Amino acid sequence: MNTVAPRRIALVMGVANHRSIAWACVQEFLAHNTDCIVTYHPRFQMHVDRLVDSFSQQEEKHQEGGKILGQFSCEVETGIPELFHAQIPDLLGDGRRLDTVLHSIAFADMEHTKSLGQASWSAYAQAQQISSYSLIETARCAFALSGSEGKHPVMADHSSLTALSYLGAVRALPPYHIMGPAKASLEANVRGLAAEYGCVKDEYATNTNRTLRVNAVSAGPVATLSSRGIPNFGDWSRQVADTSPLKRNVTTQEIASTVHFLSKASGITGQTIYVDAGYSSVIP
């Protein structure tokens, strides 16, 4: 008797609109028969609702690939514990857990912070909390801690967490200013979390270990809502295209393909993978 294996489940955090790298990742997971749950900041609810509705209409016609199981509004400054301890467990029930999570969340007050040297503590701390610390809280709430009422964590015993980063984490890029330290912190958190959660004793089963692989994808410049807030982004993007070995910029689909690959790459953890047409390999 043949049995059909249940589809994997991906949580994609940080969809804003159809140009988002996060939305490209949703499409990539769905195309590979992985069900998805989506989160978004409240101000993007209308855009995300339209995307999900459009996908649902296409799904009715084709009946192929994964499904979008649900979407949640989440302000990461306060909403991560509720997301992983209540909302997602209630959606999935007792039988299913998350196999992979994409962290595509970043924010800095670029409008009122014109340079790193002029950054106020409140602006700097906000960028760190939203863009970097939220990864720590995601790993802790989704994988390490029991949910409400002693329930098993919502992530599967062998799962993955991938964050989106940028070259500004390791190079001084003046237009990126306050986000550079935030991305550097994010990548350091990736390495630290990979070391801490790479082999964790399962409190629910004797002689059993749980594994969370944590990686980052450092993406080249793409035209998203977030990138519009970077001063002179267009000039920077053209410079990258002219300088990179491939003489072009990458697409969101290429980034999403790497995210999907890392979700299944069982031997890779603690790494930052560059998807930037080779630009990072040739700059000084």
CA R_g for the chain: 19
CA distance 24 to 39: 14
SS3 of residue 223 by DSSP:
coil
Considering only CA atoms, which of 18, 40, 27, 39 is closest in space to residue 225?
18
- CA 243, 246, 247, 253 dihedral sign is negative
Cα angle at 76 between 104 and 265, to 5 degrees? 35
Q: How many helices (H) and strands (E) does the chain have?
A: 10, 8
Could you give phi then psi for residue 59, rounded to 5 degrees?
Answer: -60, -40
Measured CA to CA, the distance from residue 194 to residue 10 in angstroms comes to 19
Q: Tokens in use for 25?
A: 């990742």
Amino acid type, 236: W
**Distance of alpha carbon 67 from the chain centroid:** 19
Catalogue the active-site residues.
166, 176
Spacing of C-alpha 80 from chain mean position: 14
